[in-house]
Chain A
Amino acid sequence: MKLLREPYYILLDFLEMLGASGLFLLHLLRYTPHALRRPGLIFQQVFTIGAMSLVLIMVSGLFVGMVLGLQGFNTLSKFASTSMVGTLVALGLLRELGPVITALLFAGRAGTALTSEIGLMRATEQLAGMEMMAVDPVRRIVVPRFLGGVISMPLLVGIFNAVGLLGGYLVGVVLMHIDKGSFWSQIHAHVDFKEDFRSGIIKSLVFGAVATLIAVFEGYYAQPTAEGVSRATTRTVVNTALAVLAVDYLLTAFMY
């Protein structure tokens, strides 16, 4: 009997979390115009969330591009089509790996920081103190962080893709001696601006919103204890990874 009841409760918990985060998103969107009037707060978060993640994103992008270049070269050399390595690296990065890996790294680096920061504010009653002073913590604390995340993600994805392409170029052209001209000409011939580049940017905006929403939501509703904050931080990483992969599937199905 218990075995039958467990999935039922899991489903209810999932629906409750989905509904609560949807309502929280509406709350955030309602205060977005107010937050836009104080861009200083948002750009402070762009620094914390985006600029501080830069090294991680660049190093990861370089290695992902290099791995794609190496794997592409090994596979395509069997079909005497090594000039297509550039296309493989560019399409792989722009369509999927750039937005998805950046979002996963974002969850680990910036998402956890957001959750623990807001969670600790809750645990140390700073949020309650703000409410006492008639300052809405959602408006003052959460919305600038949410907008900072949404702004930072496409920029991080752009940097990840550019560095990744450089990694593919280093392996393909510099190490494996593919012709430089055919590397770029194949990219130009097969990577479509609208279908590949623009769709990747749309994905990165959506992932930015999803990853930051989950991080601030988990932080805002974290149990105000050390254990509660640590659990919320773990939930941020797990839920963001699952949500990003699920949303990626849906977006890919709609866009391509």
Chain B
Amino acid sequence: MKQTRTIEIVTGAFIILGFVALYVIATSATNIGSYGNAKGYVVTAEFNNIGGLKPHAQVTMAGVAIGRVSSIKLDPKSFSAVVTLQIDGHYNEVPDDSAASILTSGLLGEQYIGIDPGGSPDFLKDGSTIQYTQSALVLEKLIGQFFSKATAPGSK
């Protein structure tokens, strides 16, 4: 009887420990916190070139994460990339003339979208489109431009 009770206690402790471990991992080692704020609003932005931008990349404003890239599609008519941004509900006062740029964190870091606020009294809302965008800097193109200028006649 005593042995059965010990087995039951150890089994119960094991199950609780397992669930606690899963809970701790889910809450402290993942981005689950951002899912709670997902009930924000969705805006789109068109870019000529998104470089290495991926879904789930951060959207920041003044360095503060305010949302994530939810999807990236190619517009079949304009052949530009349509990036859908999920902005957290807390940040519902972003001017509608703000500009979106694709930036890189550090030299080897991943790409994200930085929003520079405009001065309009109207704010972005669900379904809005960000008009002013700046595409990703593509290193190969920059190097190509540098060499073409350096080898152009008249250049020193």
Query: Which A residues are within 8 Å of any B CB, using their own CB?
Result: 43-44, 46-47, 50-51, 54, 79, 81, 90, 94, 154-156, 158-159, 161-163, 165, 184, 187-189, 191-197, 201
Query: A149: shortest Cβ distance to chain B, in Å?
Result: 14
User: Known contacts being A188-B31, A192-B31, is A158 close to B11, with CB within 8 Å?
Assistant: no
In the complex, which residues of chain A have a beta carbon less than 8 angstroms from the beta carbon of B7? 44, 47
| Number of interface residues, chain B, beta carbon within 8 A | 27
B14 contacts A158, CB within 8 Å? no
Interface-facing stretch out of B15-23, B82-90, B124-132, B146-154: B15-23
B residues lining the A interface (CB < 8 Å)? 7-8, 10-11, 13-15, 17-19, 21-22, 24-26, 28-33, 35, 56, 58, 65, 106, 108
Q: Which of A79, A161, A188 has the most CB of B within 10 A?
A: A188
Residues of B within 8 A of A44 (CB): 7, 11
CA distance A131 to B28 in the complex (A): 51
Assess whether A188 is in contact with B33, with CB atoms less than 8 Å apart. yes
Indicate if the CB atoms of B25 and A94 lie closer than 8 Å.
yes
- Tell me the complex Cα distance, A54–B10, Å: 11
Q: How far is the CA of A234 from the CA of B105 in the complex (A)?
A: 51
CA distance A161 to B17 in the complex (A): 12
**CB distance A47 to B10 under 8 Å?**
yes
For residue B32, which residue of chain A has the nearest CB?
Answer: A193
Structural contact, A162 and B21, CB atoms closer than 8 A: yes
Asked if residues A155 and B15 are in contact (CB atoms below 8 Å), the reply is yes
Which residue from A46, A155, A191 sits with its C-beta under 8 Å from B30?
A: A191
The answer to whether residues A46 and B21 also contact, given A79-B108, A189-B31 and a CB cut-off of 8 A, is no
Return A81 CB to nearest CB of chain B, in Å: 7
Say which residue of A154, A162, A165, A193 sits within 8 Å of B35 (CB atoms): A193
